[in-house]
Structure 1
Amino acid sequence: MDLPLMAAKAYQYKAELLVKDYLLADSYVPYASVLGGILMCKLAFDFTRFISSFYFKGYASLTKMQKIEWNNRGMSTVHAIFITLMSTYLVFFSGLFSDQQDGPVTFRSSSLSNFTLGVSVGYFITDLAMILWLYPSLGGVEYIIHHILSLTAVTYAMLSGEGQLYTYMSLISETTTPGINLRWFLDVAGMKRSKRYVVNGVAMFVTWLIARIILFMYLFYQIFLHYDQVKQMDTFGYLLVSVAPAVLFVMNMIWFSKILRGLRKTLAKRH
């Protein structure tokens, strides 16, 4: 084995050891993951600005506020991709919440699941801070309510280890975020009449229907199925599981109706 390959293997081993012994050590998970989430947001924000300034000619002509929102949406897209992939894996493929496992599903967690939630906490803290600082340019009251509710639920699940299954099922709904952001990008780029805009509208409708309507119905079914275990949770956790998904579902339905009206209007114009 040549020296460069040996050096690469050594660095890989050290990195894996660092993650295992420190970042994923139970006592360090909340702090390392939240800081990691905030750092991820900063890097994604700056990377979006860097890439856009080189590959999108119209970026320089955007207003200062448009540039901030452009970069913010790039940041939220990175988080959405990360949390969707991790949530899907943990809920459906990891076996962590499988009925084959012993013990109540409402009290199951792992170092990886806690770390993933911490990254999401870091994102919600960063994005909520930006929304409040620049209010109402990055979003109105509904965004503040959504972020506070999400931040509270995700933080509680991370720190207590309770109800993580339902938290991750809710977080899968972030799969709709890239499509929403892309629609804003196309609009700002002057491509509202393009075929891409229509395709994006249809994709938004389908993903929203699956991830924020049908999946939430499945979430309610899971809560009902394990309700005897849900009742064993701490009072605050029990209230979060009972209230947070219901409030988010109502908000999802309101936004879904707006998406449907927008899609009808776009298809009518194309026709």
Structure 2
Amino acid sequence: MGFTAPGLLLSYVYVNAKGQWGRVAMDPFSQLILLIAVVSFCTFQWLFHSVSPWASSRISPAFLKLTHKQKIEWNSRTVSTLHALLVGLFCLCILFFDEAVNQDPVWGDPTLVKINVSITTGYLISDLLLIFYYWRAIGDKFFVIHHLAALYAYYYVLGQGMLPYFANFRLLAEFSTPCVNQRWFFEVLGYSKASKPNMANGVLMAMVFFLVRIAVMPVYYSRMCSVYGTEAFYKVTFGGRCAWIFSSICLDIMNIMWMHKIARGCYKVLRSRRRSKPESQENGKTD
């Protein structure tokens, strides 16, 4: 049984079957991954506490008029958008150009995927810390479940280098985040739901969310089924298989729930927009 001791970033502490303590040096790449995760955590904390408030107050003067809770959520969503764009673009590069991962989705060379996942790991831990600390402002049990399920799965990717294709594929979902956050920004800034910017973002949000979280499910699970029962599949530890399958199902159930809410909201706004047009045209004729 092993665990990483606090402060021992360059070594791995373990207890053997006889209860004796020991320490082995971490390989250089593992040290790099750990360093990236730590830097990622610190960077996203810095973006939340310093960069976002400073930049937002200059880009959008309305930021200064927000309540304390709204400012916290604003900064959280700003950081979330930056993370989504960074990781999402990296994810696409791996998906299109990393032949090793695409050819062997279970045990292909996970180097680039590990780097991308370590960035996300740092962000998720940072976001969890903020969620718990500012629970009254941004606390959400579904986000806690989402983050913990993702971290549980990423442990096997980073620790054992397994399932790089599937871990990277899940990160495609990040592309829907900017539109979801922008919807909240429009709302808190007082934009009408029927306004053109809000309407355009709402339709784009529904389309992107469906494409990167729902429409890709058949591709994802068909690839999962294609490796089921193979030699590569049975090399994955039992814990790794549970993390892979359980996390995927858990995340997709939430994605379907969120898609349902987004679709209903988009439909209501579009329907109200259509109803308001004839009324405005009729009023225009009478005037």
Q: Cα RMSD (Å) of the superposition?
A: 1.6
State the partner residue of 1:215.
216
State the partner residue of 2:51.
47
State the partner residue of 1:237.
240
CA deviation after TM superposition for structure 1 residue 28, in Å: 1.6
Distance (whole Å) between structure 2 residues aligned to residue 40 and residue 91 of structure 1: 26
CA displacement 1:146-190 (0-9 Å, x = unmatched): 011011112321111011211111111011100000000000001
Distance (whole Å) between structure 2 residues aligned to residue 204 and residue 214 of structure 1: 14
Report percent identity of matched pairs.
27
State the partner residue of 2:32.
29
CA deviation after TM superposition for structure 1 residue 25, in Å: 4.2
State the partner residue of 1:81.
85
State the partner residue of 1:200.
201
CA displacement 1:219-269 (0-9 Å, x = unmatched): 111101111232320111111122111111111111100001100111122
Contact 1:223 1:230 in 2 (8 A): no
Distance (whole Å) between structure 1 residues aligned to residue 270 and residue 149 of structure 2: 34
CA displacement 1:48-90 (0-9 Å, x = unmatched): 2111111212111111111111011111111101111111111
Name the aligned partner's letter for residue 182 of structure 1: Q
Matches within 5 A, 1:73-152: 73-99=77-103, 104-152=104-152
Q: 1:248 aligns with which of 244, 248, 251?
A: 251
Q: 1:270 aligns with which of 270, 273, 284?
A: 273
Contact 2:39 2:122 in 1 (8 A): yes
Distance (whole Å) between structure 1 residues aligned to residue 265 and residue 233 of structure 2: 38
- Change in Cα spacing, 1:34 to 1:111, as seen in structure 2 (3 Å) is same
Contact 2:101 2:110 in 1 (8 A): no
Contact 2:70 2:137 in 1 (8 A): no
Greater RCO, 1 or 2 (C-alpha within 8 Å, sep 6+): 1
Distance (whole Å) between structure 1 residues aligned to residue 186 and residue 120 of structure 2: 26
State the partner residue of 1:7.
none
Contact 1:182 1:200 in 2 (8 A): yes
Distance (whole Å) between structure 1 residues aligned to residue 139 and residue 205 of structure 2: 19
Distance (whole Å) between structure 2 residues aligned to residue 25 and residue 82 of structure 1: 24
Distance (whole Å) between structure 2 residues aligned to residue 110 and residue 168 of structure 1: 10
State the partner residue of 1:67.
71
Looking at secondary structure, tell me which structure has more strand per residue: 2
SS at match of 2:236: coil
Contact 2:102 2:165 in 1 (8 A): no
- Change in Cα spacing, 1:136 to 1:212, as seen in structure 2 (3 Å) is farther
State the partner residue of 2:162.
162
Aligned residues: 244
Contact 1:157 1:167 in 2 (8 A): yes
Give structure 2 stretches of 5+ with no counterpart.
1-26, 275-287
TM-score (ref. length: structure 1): 0.85
In the alignment, structure 1 residue 57 sits paired with structure 2 residue 58: no
Name the aligned partner's letter for residue 58 of structure 1: A
Name the aligned partner's letter for residue 48 of structure 1: S
SS at match of 2:215: helix
Contact 2:101 2:107 in 1 (8 A): no
Contact 1:118 1:155 in 2 (8 A): no
Name the aligned partner's letter for residue 91 of structure 2: S
Give structure 1 stretches of 5+ with no counterpart.
1-23
Contact 1:175 1:211 in 2 (8 A): yes
State the partner residue of 1:6.
none
